[in-house]
Structure 1
Amino acid sequence: MTTPVKVGELLRQWRDRRRVSQLDLAISADISTRHLSFVETGRSRPSRDMVLRLGEHLDVPLRERNQLLLAAGYAPVYGESELGDPDLAAVREAVRLLLKGHEPYPAAVLDRTWNLVDANASLGIFTDRVAPELLAPPVNVLRATLHPDGMAPYVLNLGEWRAHLLGRLRGQVTRTADPALADLLAELNGYPCEQPAPEVEVPGPGDIFVPLRFRHRDTELTFFSTVATFGTPLDVTVAELVIESFFPANPATTAYLRDQAGDGVG
């Protein structure tokens, strides 16, 4: 039988993960170092408000803040709704407006494990040659991008783009300590890639972002992407949603996407 992890141990793990000293955390959370030490060693039981305060100052994700509360003997305070729930109607409407308004450029909504939640029609320019089994729900965007039967053969700078995506995922694993994300990272690291990843990302002359260079049919397209999240979420599901929007990085890509939209071709 597995022994439950105590809240003090969890807090210490998060503090170590964030590379914050006891003194720095105590100062920022406005508590004594002695009291924080007693909490971490189990000599003192923190109040619910203190657990929440420490979780906030350690930038612990909402899902894991609920776990801290449970470990301290309190009920979770952050709800976890289904995206189809009536309470999230405004969220769904906002997401659809963003997706629709971004056309004819691709955009997608992802959950915490990079599964596709929603997308606009323009995303089809990336997925029309992806193997059907990789597009069976739930569609994992990283898997569909980097798998040899996915987008990978058509990504012209695969080594560079792969390193960019794996770097983002690696950072996410560090921030969240999510075992599902760690497993996904291990899986993706095992995918073959003939193009070597750069050891250090050194920008070339005029470079301002890591581009996605993608071949659609006989045309080379170049994109950059932006990532948006909800600014003040109090629901776990909403906090974990990510909207990734792709923009054309040159006039030729802009013209091609507009022509494709006009022809109704994905």
Structure 2
Amino acid sequence: MPATGHVLTEIRRARRLSQLDLGLQAEVSARHISFIETGRAQPSRDMLLRLSEVMGLSHRDCNRLMNAFGYSPVFSDMSLDDSAMLPVREALQIMLDKHNPYPAAVLDIEWNLLMSNQAMQDMMLALMPKERLLQSENMLVLLFHHQGLRPYLTNWDTVASLLLRRLRLQLSTQPTAGLAKLMDRLLSMDPPRDWQTPSPDSWEGPMLTSHLQIHGQSLNVFSTLSSFGTALDAGLQELMIESYFPADEATRRFFEGTAIG
């Protein structure tokens, strides 16, 4: 099978679509999809854009599909440090600063820490020595590590299990080598037994709450993940802004009235 068609086959199968399913959604015949994948037909740029749209591809996967068939990328892919991304960095910093005194951070698609507000930095340094933070800036690795956040989470099994299931789902729609490597690493770090099976008995309230022990005080927080809904850059589309909120009044008072350190 030609390398070009193989990319479409790989992406289609990752989304659990048959050639018939994809053809029906794109309003072309399954035979035409087969011809594209076997190299018997060269799709137009517009056809690839249509296939990308109906499969719900990320900007990065759309670019990858375009490149495979000899077309230029549709979306830019700039580093957050690029000069053209200055307005984005400024917007992110505003969002992070406005969230103080509660922790907030900016993560990439592989859960690497890119930016954080003062409350996040103070909380992390209160829980771990600086040298530990410098060894790994991946939030999931820090959460799973026995010398990271793991000892401070009294409901670590519940939180870790949910994050593994979320990462597995993320891998099904964004099957990148980096995410696959991250999953393998987490599974080698003594994961919870039966993490694949949800345990409703351990759930409390309308959202997953992390139970932390900081300075001998029990804190309960939940988090939200936000993204840029109108991003036209591959990297920007993948950024996640994780914001933490107090789940009870005692936790709110702690963050609002106590300097962590």
TM-score normalised to the size of structure 1?
A: 0.89
Rounded Cα–Cα distance in structure 1 between residues aligned with 2:255 and 2:3:
53
1:96-111 → structure 2 map (5 Å cutoff): 96-111=93-108
Answering whether residue 148 of structure 2 is matched by residue 150 of structure 1, we say yes
Rounded Cα–Cα distance in structure 2 between residues aligned with 1:66 and 1:133:
38
1:250 is matched with: 248
2:260 is matched with: 265
Alpha carbons of structure 1 residues 138 and 218: separation in structure 2 relative to 1, 3 Å = closer
Which residue, out of 170, 173, 186, partners 2:171? 173
Rounded Cα–Cα distance in structure 1 between residues aligned with 2:196 and 2:167:
17
Rounded Cα–Cα distance in structure 1 between residues aligned with 2:63 and 2:87:
24
After superposition, the C-alpha distances for 1:40-96 in whole angstroms (9 at most, x for unaligned) are 222101112211221221122222222211211122222111212232122112211
Structure 1 counterpart SS, 2:127: coil
Rounded Cα–Cα distance in structure 2 between residues aligned with 1:212 and 1:205:
11
Rounded Cα–Cα distance in structure 1 between residues aligned with 2:187 and 2:60:
26
Instruction: Name segments (4+ residues, structure 1) moved above 4 Å.
Output: 193-198, 203-206
Percent identical = 37
After superposition, the C-alpha distances for 1:175-208 in whole angstroms (9 at most, x for unaligned) are 1111111111111112136887583231568621
2:27 is matched with: 30
Structure 2 counterpart SS, 1:207: coil
After superposition, the C-alpha distances for 1:118-150 in whole angstroms (9 at most, x for unaligned) are 011111214423243432276111111210110
Alpha carbons of structure 1 residues 157 and 198: separation in structure 2 relative to 1, 3 Å = farther
1:203-222 → structure 2 map (5 Å cutoff): 207-222=205-220
Alpha-carbon distance, 1:107 to partner: 0.6
Answering whether residue 7 of structure 2 is matched by residue 10 of structure 1, we say yes
Give unpaired runs (5+ residues) of structure 1. none
**In the alignment, is the contact (CA less than 8 A) between 2:127 and 2:152 conserved in 1?**
no
Rounded Cα–Cα distance in structure 2 between residues aligned with 1:85 and 1:249:
37
Give unpaired runs (5+ residues) of structure 2. none
TM-score normalised to the size of structure 2?
A: 0.91
- Cα RMSD of the aligned pairs, angstroms, is 2.2
Alpha carbons of structure 1 residues 254 and 142: separation in structure 2 relative to 1, 3 Å = same
Rounded Cα–Cα distance in structure 1 between residues aligned with 2:42 and 2:219:
57
Alpha carbons of structure 1 residues 30 and 116: separation in structure 2 relative to 1, 3 Å = same
Alpha carbons of structure 1 residues 142 and 125: separation in structure 2 relative to 1, 3 Å = same
1:1-266 → structure 2 map (5 Å cutoff): 6-123=3-120, 124-136=122-134, 139-192=137-190, 197=195, 199-202=197-200, 207-260=205-258, 264-266=259-261
Structure 2 counterpart SS, 1:136: helix
Structure 2 counterpart SS, 1:233: coil
Alpha carbons of structure 1 residues 121 and 70: separation in structure 2 relative to 1, 3 Å = same
Rounded Cα–Cα distance in structure 2 between residues aligned with 1:5 and 1:133:
48
After superposition, the C-alpha distances for 1:227-260 in whole angstroms (9 at most, x for unaligned) are 1011021111101100011111111100111112
Give the number of aligned pairs: 260
